[in-house]
Amino acid sequence: MASLFPLAQSQPSSGAISSTPAQQGSEGNTWIQLEPIWQSAQLDATASPGIPHRRLSPVWQLLVLGDGYTTRNLSLLSGQPIGAHILESLAVDPAQEQAPAALDPLGHQVQRRQVWLGSQTDDIPLLYATSWWNQAQIKATLPDPHLPIGTSLMGSGLDVSRQILGLWWGHSPQLEHLFGYSGPFWGRHYWLMRQQQPLTLIYEVFSPHLSQWLGDPC
């Protein structure tokens, strides 16, 4: 399938999908954010009863608001191991980065990583994600950058939790191209916490392809 960015072939690591991108210049120095139709900010998933079922079905809320590893959830739904297709991984200036939340907890040296996740046996994206990391932390936490974050964390035994900051429902022409579906799409952003300290800020958008297992979102 066509990618958002030009691809250069490389040898995949275990758990990787087979192609990774050439490094991007200034034209590619962006990340994909939904143009929201509806947005919920500062959502405390531990205290909130969720959102109205007329807006997002209970089954989809289990995925979007749940605290399990995204990689594990996608694997359970698809019945296949999940791999990460890297679109971009580069250093960014946190002062100039228009992230969905302040990047101050990550310090001054920040790495941005963009991927899509999908089954290792096909070429169908199930999720798009951008994550922001302290540069030292990403090297320590993701020694194999081709593995999904959840796979690396489950293998490391690190105790992490999720602090959901907001939900998104909106459009993106780039994600329509990536997913092969028309919008709108559901997304979320959250802090992944380790020992009650921010480890990485993650922004995720779910493909409508998941509806074959979850039913329609609403």
DSSP 49-70: --S-TTTS-HHHHHHHH--S-H
More confident residue, 125 or 23: 125
Confidence tier at 134 by pLDDT (50, 70, 90): very high
More confident residue, 13 or 201: 201
Task: Kindly tell me if the per-residue pLDDT of 201 is higher than 70.
Answer: yes
88 part of a folded domain: yes
Tokens of 195: 């020992």
Query: How many helices (H) does the chain have, and how many strands (E)?
Result: 6, 9
Q: If you ran DSSP here, which 8-state letter would residue 145 be given?
A: T
pLDDT at 48 (0 to 100): 56
75 part of a folded domain: yes
Tokens of 182: 């028309």
CA distances to 19, 33, 69, 157 from 203, in Å: 22, 8, 14, 23
% of residues, the chain, pLDDT over 90: 59
171 part of a folded domain: yes
Distance CA 39, CA 33 (A): 12
> What are the tens digits of pLDDT across the range 4-19?
433 322 333 333 333 3
Which is it for strands 19-21 and 7-9: parallel, antiparallel or unpaired?
antiparallel
Query: What's the whole-number mean pLDDT along residues 119-131?
Result: 93
Q: Tell me if 200 sits within 8 A of 133, measured CB to CB.
A: yes
Confidence tier at 122 by pLDDT (50, 70, 90): confident
154 part of a folded domain: yes
10 part of a folded domain: no
> What are the tens digits of pLDDT across the range 25-56?
333 458 999 999 998 875 554 445 667 777 89
Q: Kindly compute the dihedral angle of the four CA atoms of residues 103, 27, 170, 208, in this order, to the nearest 10 degrees.
A: -110
pLDDT at 145 (0 to 100): 80
Q: Which residues pair with 218 in a beta bridge?
A: none
11 part of a folded domain: no
CATH of residue 62's domain is 3.40.1410.10
pLDDT at 143 (0 to 100): 86
Tokens of 134: 């302290």
Confidence tier at 196 by pLDDT (50, 70, 90): confident
Kindly give the residue spans of alpha helices, DSSP state H, lying in the chain: 58-65, 70-78, 135-141, 149-156, 173-179, 211-214
Peptide bond into 58 cis (omega under 30): no
What single letter denotes the amino acid at residue 79?
G
> What are the tens digits of pLDDT across the range 45-92?
444 566 777 789 999 999 998 878 899 999 999 999 999 999 999 999
pLDDT at 52 (0 to 100): 75
Identify the domain containing residue 150 by its residue range.
49-97+108-214
> What are the tens digits of pLDDT across the range 155-174?
666 778 889 999 999 999 99
Domain count, the chain: 1
